[in-house]
Structure 1
């Protein structure tokens, strides 16, 4: 009798644990988060030594089922996977995931060579392309993306800011009509009359950029600098488009899309630099290809003769906002906010105005050739 009793008890306990004890490691429904890092490794276990089984990119949304020792559990390619929890941004409520039914509306494309994607985001594959002037029926909208009905009966997603019906289609509230009005303005050598310049203040919103001495954020220094630059350019006759006009987050893809949606003559991205060694200082201008090199040289030369910081020259770099931009494009590092001398200048209105003057002069010299 005893030989039967213990196995029976063991089986009963096992059945009870399976049927009545909840499985806490795999919740049926998790919480939605957004990836806040440019590239985030997906690992097989909650450890930095875990095998990398894939990668997620900034803006991707994931469902998290549990957190453990700074790691968050999700699923990747059907398998349990882990990602670093401190790179996750909570998506509050279901409203951000909701897709609004807009089946009675139409949308017109306002830019050339616009990608149509399989889903609402730049991480989804491109399935087709379209051009300015084409009109489509809207099926639904998700965030900044419209799901449109294609001529072959299928549907695809387009960025709303590249249409006449979107949150950022006028590039931070600026009218496309203003850009069109300068197309017929004579572009005179030595002036910026008739030229459209896109000014791109780096970072913003949830992305503070680099952190300098005293905990100062790069984004908080870039905003007044960008305003000073835009003011100088407008005074010289340029039509200025800002990729953002306040403290909010704009993806790299959207910055490029804004530039490509206008008849842009030059794109200037503004940043401040950092380095662990406090002695490193100076300004630099980056370009991607030969079409950008001349612009970088002219602007950096003007910086060297206008601002009181050392010049580190013009350098080649593979930045997305340069690589995917159709216009001549540069990315400027306007000084090191980890260098005491640089930062003392950078924080002043005089320095920011001098940066605006240097960029204006550099552009004038570039367009005069």
Structure 2
């Protein structure tokens, strides 16, 4: 009886530890580190799912699968999900160096964020001439001490303490081939609470966009370009912030990715939109010609349009409508691997022709 009692107590303690200790557990899989001060752990891959715990900056997460901007792991022995935009590979160690110097902001209207990247929340702004104590540097972002004692992150290239690993922001474009040395801002439209257009069978534009944008980004990087995404998974980014991201970089081209919709099912095809004549119109012409060359969709041509992300942008900017998700023919193509590959290659080719014309 005494032995049975001891076994029961031991099993009870193990069950308590398994269920109630809030730790991320796994035996294998990609290890990520949390890059924000507080990250909700949810029961399902959705912002409306139940919050079952919280992680803090520096905690490690072992990922077993990824789905539309969410990483699946285990929390307290149960399957759990966290938003992937707040994670970075732990093996990278964020390329962090610790510093205790001061920096000066060199541009106006510079945003201060909660983490080292444009996917992190904006918590304030500062202007040219402001000085801060530099705490650390992570992948071309500086962590600084704010006047209220809190900390925030500022893009290194907007300060006097610039870094040398800026993805070739300083370049001689006449001495490069392909897209090496060019900075491309890729803008996956909609996201989060904004689903965009709703197509056949209730499919959301925002989901198709992110899949397509990931393929385009991979091809652009393979061609040598530095790619800046305005969003990297399924979260909402205001139009003003998308433009601010573009204007904050030494951007060579801004490309906004969308899918079209129309009440009349037969309407179909690809179009590229620009706001101002000159370089933006030239960029639109080159991208439209290259995309439509190998894709079996109607070529609707280039159009002058008054979209915010084009109108307010300081660089050559286009918005590409890559087919109608309300048209059965277009939607069937959009969801194929060949389509994704051809769109990505078409945009790379169009940009290359534009820069080296």
Identify which of 260, 267, 270 aligns with 1:283.
270
Asked if the contact 2:184–2:254 (Cα under 8 Å) also holds between the matched residues in 1, the reply is: yes
Q: Which residue of 2 aligns with 1:135?
A: 131
Shift of 1:181: 3.6
Q: How does 1:285-304 map to 2 (within 5 A)?
A: 285-290=272-277, 291-304=279-292
Q: Distance in 2 between matches of 1:111 and 1:242?
A: 23
1:347 and 1:293 map into 2 onto residues whose CA distance is 29
1:291-330 paired onto structure 2 within 5 Å: 291-330=279-318
Deviation of the 1:196 alpha carbon: 0.6
After the TM superposition, which residues 147-296 of structure 1 pair with which residues of structure 2 at under 5 Å, given as runs?
A: 178-179=165-166, 181-184=168-171, 187-188=174-175, 191-290=178-277, 291-296=279-284
Q: Which has the larger radius of gyration?
A: 1
What is the DSSP-based 3-state SS (H/G/I as helix, E as strand, rest coil) of the residue aligned with 2:233? coil
- Structure 1 CA distance for aligned equivalents of residues 163 and 233 of structure 2: 19
Q: CA deviation at 1:239?
A: 0.8
The residue matched to 2:166 in structure 1 has which SS? helix
User: Could you tell me how far 1:235 is from its partner in structure 2?
Assistant: 1.0
Give the match's secondary structure for 1:307. coil
Query: TM-score if structure 1 supplies the norm length?
Result: 0.55
Q: Aligned in 2, Cα 1:111/1:215: closer, same or farther, shift over 3 Å?
A: farther
Distance 1:111 1:273 in 2: 40
In the alignment, which residue of structure 2 is the partner of 1:357?
345
Cα deviation, residue 179, structure 1 = 2.9
CA distance in 1, matches of 2:164, 2:292: 36
Change (3 A) 1:111 1:219: farther
Q: Which residue of 1 aligns with 2:327?
A: 339
Give the length in aligned residue pairs: 231
Query: 1:163 and 1:189, CA in 2 relative to 1: closer, same or farther beyond 3 A?
Result: closer
Unaligned runs of 5+ in 1: 1-88, 90-105, 117-127, 138-145, 150-159, 170-174
Are the structure 2 counterparts of residues 289 and 107 from structure 1 closer, same or farther at C-alpha, using a change threshold of 3 Å?
farther
The TM-score with structure 2 as length reference comes to 0.57
Q: Quote how far apart the aligned CAs of 1:306 are.
A: 2.1
Deviation at 1:229, TM superposition (A): 0.4
Which contiguous aligned blocks of 4+ residues in structure 1 show a shift greater than 6 angstroms? Answer: 106-109
**Structure 1 residue 323: deviation in Å?**
1.0
Q: 1:109 to 1:232 in 2, by over 3 A?
A: farther
* Secondary structure of the corresponding residue to residue 179 of structure 1: coil
Report the equivalent of 1:59.
Answer: none
Q: 1:163 to 1:194 in 2, by over 3 A?
A: closer
SS in 1 for 2:208: helix
Q: Which runs of 5+ in 2 are unaligned?
A: 1-47, 49-100, 112-124, 134-143
